[in-house]
Structure 1
């Protein structure tokens, strides 16, 4: 157990250790972990090498003897236990043997081709994406990580996981009480330990917003999925000032907002839906007195599904907050991820409010064949 583990326990650990057997000190750490009682060891490096050989020889019909011969060439004289890296996940008490980063990335993204070309994959690896709010945002973050659609992901949320969140957040009961940022960072690390994840554990506020947008390089796109009206407004004003595009999914009727401040720097925030309340730079000042009206205008209440409208009427009576369903959240996460990729690769995505409304789509086809 390293010093950070001893000092803070597992609760605040979210980064795995990536250990190279070619560095003596790290090799000693690997040996130590390999011989610790209770450590779960996953060593499938041979299968990974064989998969790598397959993707490197797509037109060859390889037999078992070919794999053995080619594997020796890939190992270049190294023993197989020294191939690649070993990755220690302390919160899982698990040690995993993986290919080194370039080979790992090439193999892990091999099934993306040519939905995403190698050139596009390299472009995406240079991009910085920010995600504020980790309900829908969790689905966005995991989709982006699975596609390896970024070089750095900045995630922000102040909240911890409660049992009621599990109707829409895909994680386990063992994470109850854990910060949502740690949960998402761990889940991404378990998919791909080489991805860079930066955490803002207190959410976004006036003090850290500039850093979130610019520290280590300016964001290329923002996905805003928080519940806070002040942050919805202030993060868009910041995005507009920096000419950063913004995406938002609202988990009702597949409502998706696209704001291309990168292409339209004078575009009013939130499509101008709040223009009746005055200058957009003054909106946060009047929120307290007008929060409900502003929210209804923002959502275009009459455009909501009938069930969402009824749910809003029950807040404070039979329910405490507005509902979200897993199917909507997962679909919204996937849609945001898809649009992120399109925008980052320079494909055409126009500003606007769009609906991926499956219920209306299928009701409109009722009785047709």
Structure 2
């Protein structure tokens, strides 16, 4: 059985560990690979998968050997394939062991997701080590066949469609959350980073002519929502009813995206899961210095809008730009809502194209 090591450092959010944990589980379950996942902080992973002991040095869950990555890294047997997720630095003694091995492991730098044009040209490019007899290869996730693809477990789309076709499954899910949405309400999930546009959006939902049921998984938006409602309990004003949830594990969060009519997401992991949910969504991209994330946002919008009528494309761009603090954006909730049928049809068609491509795990395995 091939052995893979995946290294992941947790920075300030859940995205890096969320992606690597999904990848590790899929490699084990669908490709029979022996995976060891090295993580420098297990507390965020414990939020995503509550069965994890955040203090254990080693444990096996879902077939994945999860190891705490200590500052003083031990001498361990190297793997056949080594993945450094999102440009983290593999320990020096591990690299030295790789160089000393008679059979060099495949060394992959798994990059962040982007729709920018240059990604396809850089995908799989070699990067020789400046001093050691090792070569690292860049591996870029992406939305086109000439990139590494997106994480998508086998049968994910079928499970999602079955859930969305079953009123019983959805009713049971809402009951588990302790929520009874108004049948006439637009159901929205709200997950993101701090956002100055949020108060205006909440007020637009309060003034909406029809009911809105908004579900708020715990995130950096939670304090803003709490400040908006003040001492009011429950969180209900006008036609807006808010439901605050504790942090959801990955499987429950997937179902929340499936159950809602519209999803606000952030970063990379929830962004990709919103794509597979088959519903219109709004993405809060991870902010970067010098607004470098604006180019990434616009690159995705350009790709995503292909085939969408011009009027809906304008509303989509304007709303996304405002949500991401681009000066060209306008938060026009009513205009956005009016384009919903066109956006839903377009999104479903776009997903149909994406699922014709191989997923990220398959492409990684084929690349070895």
For normalisation by structure 2, the TM-score amounts to: 0.30
The structure with the largest alpha-carbon Rg is: 1
Structure holding more strand per residue: 2
Using CA pairs below 8 Å that are at least 6 residues apart, which structure has the higher relative contact order? Answer: 1
Structure holding more helix per residue: 1
For normalisation by structure 1, the TM-score amounts to: 0.30
